[in-house]
Structure 1
Amino acid sequence: MDTAEGTRFRSALAAHEATLLKSLVNSLVDMLVDRESSSPTDELEELTGMRTGHTAPPDDDTMARLLPDFFRPQHDHPAGSRTAESLNSALRSLHEPEIIDAKRHACQRLLDTLPAGGGRFEIAEDDAHCWAACVNDIRLALGTMLEIGPDGPDHLPAEHPMAGHLDVYQWLTVLQEYLVLGLMGKR
């Protein structure tokens, strides 16, 4: 809906959906805070105030999916694969704090606009972009945990310990699709 203040998006969530989404966002924020707080101290940062982050990628597959390398090493690179590793280390150190900040900001905007007990709500276009980014990050994290690849899984047996998580992943996929379509102007 277009208003004098700009485009607004309307939707509704059931109470259990709002509670689940809040829990997932808080878990994502906790993961990002853990990564950020484990960053080694840097003498240059202490002297200049310029924030730096880790130089090595996360050991955890889920965090590695959320904070991937900037450049993929190529074995046939003329300068060798060490050049790619060095480039990744430098870029990660310089940009990871900003990337984590952007992810945390998107999470906070979602939490700030999420109807606490469910129900109807309306968000501005900037908030809809934050919702889409945050839901995407949650899907990436959950998809990594479920080992979802191009070939699925589309279904898990009811007795599988992650069966409920797959249902949540699929619900998030639908939520993300609606956000993206809305942002693309398809009402």
Structure 2
Amino acid sequence: MAGHFEATPDGGAAVALDEVEISILRSLAVQLLELVGPGDQAAEGSDPLAALFAEGPSEPPTDPALARLFPDAYGDDDKELREASSEFRRFTEIDLRARKREDALAVVRSLDSVTTDEDGSGELRLTADESRQWLGALNDLRLTIGTRLEVGDDDQGQEGSLYRLPDSDPRKPMVLAYLWLGALQETLVETLMS
């Protein structure tokens, strides 16, 4: 099980992690929380019905990683499609940000519950719901890191060149994290589909 998820009898997943892996995953999830931001929280005592129909931003984020996490619904230069994207964003981004925060928080909380033994290794056990939250967070982390590494949708050969970076390249740790998260994501998908 070391390094990849396996199915558990209750429909969840489990993976063996050491203290370093736990620390890296937790740090990345916290950074994702900081990137996504605290969101628009309703003030205490405010009207819950008004909060339910609160409008979000209408313009796409300027940060490329956030733009990747919260893309336009309709990617075209046509004025009508831009307006439709703006409307769609206004009514969906608040909920999408909240879900991304919940997924990242689920990762942090589950990692905080792992007990390690004297050699620094432990087993992370996830329920089916937690597994789906992990899958969302792993996807968001890969999208964010991939954007920072300038890996695009059409860069099929780009990922292969990431394997060949020299150890002296300052992007190397980020590349290793990107590839490791991809392997975790792949085994979690396989586990949930089995």
- For this structure pair, what is the TM-score category when the shorter chain's length is used for normalisation? 0.7 to 0.9
Deviates more, 1:171-180 or 1:46-55: 46-55
**Corresponding residue SS for 1:127:** helix
Q: Which amino acid aligns with 2:14?
A: R
Pick aligned residue for 1:26 from 3, 13, 30 = 30
Shift of 1:180: 0.4
Structure 1: any 5+ residue segments left out of the alignment?
A: 38-44, 76-80
**Residue correspondences, number:** 170
* Correspondence 1:52 to 2:52: no
* Correspondence 1:17 to 2:21: yes
* Equivalences for residues 1-187 of structure 1 within 5 A: 1=7, 3=9, 6-33=10-37, 36=39, 48-49=50-51, 50-73=53-76, 81-114=78-111, 115=114, 119-148=122-151, 149-152=155-158, 153-155=161-163, 156-185=165-194
Shift of 1:154: 2.5
Deviations 1:73-101 (A, max 9, x none): 1x5xxxxx110010011100100000001
- Check conservation: 2:11, 2:192, Cα contact below 8 A: no
CA distance in 2, matches of 1:136, 1:47: 32
Q: Which residue of 2 aligns with 1:41?
A: none
Higher RCO, 1 vs 2 (CA within 8 Å, ≥6 residues apart): 2
Shift of 1:144: 0.5
- Check conservation: 1:18, 1:116, Cα contact below 8 A: no
- The alignment's TM-score, normalised by the length of structure 2, stands at 0.80
Deviates more, 1:6-15 or 1:122-131: 6-15
Shift of 1:46: 11
Q: Which amino acid aligns with 1:32?
A: V
Structure 2: any 5+ residue segments left out of the alignment?
A: 1-6, 41-46
CA distance in 2, matches of 1:51, 1:22: 31
- The alignment's TM-score, normalised by the length of structure 1, stands at 0.83
RMSD over aligned CA atoms reads 2.2
Q: Which amino acid aligns with 2:162?
A: D
User: Deviation above 2 Å: which 4+ runs of structure 1?
Assistant: 45-49, 115-118
